[in-house]
Amino acid sequence: MHIYKTNKTVSISKIILTSLLLLIGLNGMAQLEKEKDTTKLINVSYGSKGIELRTRDNKFLFQLQSRLQFRFSTPNDTDPLTYDDYSQEAKTTFKINRARLKVGGHAFHPWLKYYWEYELSQSNLLDFRLMVEKWEWLSFKAGQWKVEYTRERFISSGEQQTVDRSLINRPFTADRQMGVEIYGHLKGAGIADFNYWAAALTGTGRGNTANDDGNLMYFGRAQWNFLGRFLDFEGSDLEFHEKPTPIIAISGLTNRSPYTRFSQSGGGSLEGFENGAPGQYRVNQWNLESVFMYRGFSWQSELHTKDIIDKLNFDKTTTLRGYYVQAGYFFSNAFEWWPKKLEMAARHAGYRPDDSIKQNSQEETTIAFNWFFNGHKNKLTSEVSYFSFQDKTLPLEQGWRFRIQWDISL
């Protein structure tokens, strides 16, 4: 059973109106009085982030983009969570999986940036944040966003290499939180090239403006770009890196709250736990990542450990472990007959919800194909997944799933 805190419905019109005021109103009404022809004040164009309105002095930028995700799945769409999920009735589905409105840009200075993201289908304000990025080595962020704890979760759902994230995303993600963060890129000579993130967060999930106790969530991430080349958060080597580009990252997080997991809906509970009292669960977790891209080949992996300590039940500790490895390749680099816009990818994930019980494990293996009409902005993804579930008292269960998805940003 999952209990989520109520989220306030945010008016889309207010989001757009506020952003437009930042762009135009704050640029000075006096200029509009002197210059009746506003086309001389603002440039209108279409770029990588949708429709762009930019003042001639580049002090204000307004970007508006929408994204739609259409999905077909059979026999079910969601990942199986329990043994009983394998025996549930088939629910073949066509659906609009995501419908997003994105608003971003900068105000007053190019380094003072803002961003909103709204989920239209569920009336959820997902992201709202203000960023100060004047110096590459030190930036500041405040608001609500997806914590950079795991690469898989932080990569936008529109820039994934498969239809959706792996089996282990649900138990290990920190998801969206409210708070403040410092981050930056430390460029040194040779191998001394690092990125870092450090944040203090409310720790009660998306849309929750109150804390349950006096404890905050603390998060840190260190990333080593050991060949001196940075990789952005996206799947597939669409840039076709001519030089090998690897990174290694480690993340850590600690939080105390009534929740044992987080999602787009906010705070909730993993199987075997109930939403608790304020401060009931102390959660400590860490993640080790590796990423590599070179000439159309891409690799990424994560290794997770998570301790859930029940502070109201004699500090009972449950340890969760999980991992995934994922790779993709544009085989047109090796075979002339292979279409240049077609990528093949594969992923394998494993999860133990209680590491003390060795006969209790879940696994997922996925094969996916991406056809990029226009990069991640317009692509068709199809995949076949194979799941296995082993309970300590029951035999191994297995199941297949097929999904196909069209993701387009306008």
Q: What is the DSSP string of 370-404?
A: EEESBTBTEEEEEEEEEEEEE-TTS--EEEEEEEE
Residue 167 confidence (pLDDT) above 70: yes
Query: What are the φ and ψ backbone dihedral angles of 83, each rounded to 5 degrees?
Result: -60, -40
Q: How confident is the model at residue 354 (pLDDT cuts 50, 70, 90)?
A: very high
Between CA 74 and CA 331 the distance in angstroms is 28
Element housing 368 (H / E): strand 361-372
d(CA 24, CA 183): 30
Distance between CA atoms of residues 139 and 123, nearest Å: 30
Q: Is the pLDDT of residue 81 over 80?
A: no
Identify the sign of the CA torsion 45, 47, 50, 56. Answer: negative
* Cα–Cα dist 217/281, whole Å: 12
Task: Confirm if 63 and 104 have CB atoms less than 8 A apart.
Answer: yes
Q: For residue 105, is pLDDT > 80?
A: yes
Of the chain, the percentage scoring pLDDT greater than 90 comes to: 73
For 376-402, how does the pLDDT look when each residue is reduced to its tens digit (9 = 90+)? 999 999 999 999 988 765 666 778 999
Mean pLDDT of 56-67: 94
Q: What is d(CA 122, CA 32) in angstroms, rounded to the nearest whole number?
A: 38
Query: Which domains are delineated in the chain?
Result: 70-99+136-409 (2.40.160.10)
Instruction: Give pLDDT, residue 91.
Output: 86
Pick left, alpha or beta for residue 201 (phi over 0 → left; psi -120 to 50 → alpha; otherwise beta).
beta
**Strand 61-74 with 50-55, pairing:** antiparallel
- Specify the pLDDT at position 214: 87
Does the pLDDT at position 353 exceed 50? yes
Q: What is the token pair recorded at 246? A: 């690897």
| pLDDT(121) > 90 | no
The C-alpha angle 290, 165, 77, rounded to 5 degrees, equals 160
- In which element (H, E) is residue 160 found? none
Distances (CA, A) of 315 to 273, 277, 283, 308, 311: 14, 14, 11, 9, 5
Strands 281-294 and 266-268: unpaired
Could you count the other beta carbons within 10 Å of the beta carbon of residue 356? 9
Say what the pLDDT of residue 123 is. Answer: 86
Tokens 């002090």, residue?
Answer: 59
Single pTM value for the model: 0.85
pLDDT, greater one: 45 or 29: 45
Residue 113 main-chain phi, psi, to 5 deg: -110, 155
Locate 383 and state its tokens.
């995949």
Eight-state DSSP code of residue 157: G
| pLDDT tens digits, 244-259 | 999 999 999 999 999 9
pLDDT category at 239 given cuts 50, 70, 90 is: very high
Rounded-to-integer distance, Cα 183 and Cα 195, Å: 7
Residue 236: strand, helix, or coil: coil
Model confidence pLDDT, tens digit, residues 189-219: 888 999 999 999 999 999 888 888 888 999 9
